[in-house]
Amino acid sequence: MFAARHRHPVIVLAHGSGSRLATVASGTHKTIEEVFGRPVLWWLLREVEATGMTGPTIISLRQEDPAVRAVAATCAPGAEIRFRLPTGYLPDVYAYSREYGPRFTVIEADTVTHPGSLRNFLLLAERIGADADLCVGVGPATANPNGPAVVVDDRGLVATMTWTGPPTGVVPLAAWHWTSQLLDDAAEFSKRSTSTADYIAWAVPHGARVVPIGIPAGFNINTPADLNAARGGIARWFGYPASVSTPPVSTRQGDQRPWGSLSSPAQPA
């Protein structure tokens, strides 16, 4: 068992405008789109809270969104909401490294991961992160078909990340536990590329130690097709048919919609 303790800051990076979801969006930000009866943001914050560790949780938005505040107040009332106009993924992470280092975790707000896996990532990263420059969540390429391929060496460390090399079946997914020291060159590198994958591909040959932590399944949500796939896929995770869009309401005390605990069927459908 992991004893409850303090953790490093967790930043939920939610700078995307969700423009590709505009035709089906129910709100102004894709983190409040519901998948299997809960907003995307709920799934992420639920995992952070489930670690049992205490520490700052920051939700980084490009602009105010009352719906995001409402979800955060429900499942992570201590979370702080910050506003930052995005300048590119890597520059944004670099900026936070100057403020929240020496170690911090960035969670991508457009990805729902298999229950428990993000919690386990955070617990493991806290334990092994002191011996690594970066711990990165990795999952099956089906979770993010447009992601770069992750290549590992015979020690189980990340050898590179590539957009152009042959597929490996594994991609970065959902979470990055950074050290500020690894990001010291990120501002200068961003003049060439704002991709974190490109930066890791450059940093590893320069001595960076990058540890992959497995996430068994997930859905990166950017388009209506992604959203539909996530809705059906998450239902199946809990033993329901893909056609079930909302879990039955549990009768346990205190578990009332919106966004109470999930109840699973007695027998998988």
Q: How confident is the model at residue 17 (pLDDT cuts 50, 70, 90)?
A: low
Spatial separation of the C-alpha atoms in residues 74 and 81, rounded to whole Å: 14
Q: How confident is the model at residue 265 (pLDDT cuts 50, 70, 90)?
A: very low
For residue range 47-58, list pLDDT tens digits in order: 999 999 999 999
Domain 10-220 listed as CATH 3.90.1150.10: no
Burial class (CB within 10 angstroms; exposed 0-12, middle 13-18, buried 19+) of 200 = buried
CA dist 205 → 17, 155, 160, 232 (Å):
34, 15, 9, 40
Spatial separation of the C-alpha atoms in residues 158 and 208, rounded to whole Å: 9
Instruction: Report the predicted TM-score, pTM, of the whole model to 2 decimal places.
Output: 0.89
Judge whether 250 and 261 are in contact, CB under 8 Å: yes
The mean pLDDT value of the chain amounts to 88
Residue 256, token pair as written in the block: 């009332």
DSSP 267: S
- pLDDT of 21 over the 60 cut: no
Q: Are strands 158-162 and 149-152 parallel, antiparallel or unpaired?
A: antiparallel
Closest CA to 92 of 61, 133, 56: 61
Task: State which H helix or E strand residue 226 sits in.
Answer: helix 224-237
Judge whether 21 and 90 are in contact, CB under 8 Å: no
Spatial separation of the C-alpha atoms in residues 92 and 100, rounded to whole Å: 12
Burial class (CB within 10 angstroms; exposed 0-12, middle 13-18, buried 19+) of 131 = exposed
Judge whether 92 and 15 are in contact, CB under 8 Å: yes
Q: How confident is the model at residue 94 (pLDDT cuts 50, 70, 90)?
A: very high
Residue 36, token pair as written in the block: 């299997």
Spatial separation of the C-alpha atoms in residues 261 and 269, rounded to whole Å: 20
Spatial separation of the C-alpha atoms in residues 78 and 92, rounded to whole Å: 23
Closest CA to 211 of 231, 233, 182: 182
Judge whether 129 and 135 are in contact, CB under 8 Å: yes
Residue 210, token pair as written in the block: 């990058």
For residue range 162-191, list pLDDT tens digits in order: 999 999 999 999 999 999 999 999 999 999
CA dist 247 → 13, 229, 237, 258, 265 (Å):
27, 16, 12, 11, 9
Q: Residue ranges per domain, the chain? A: 10-220
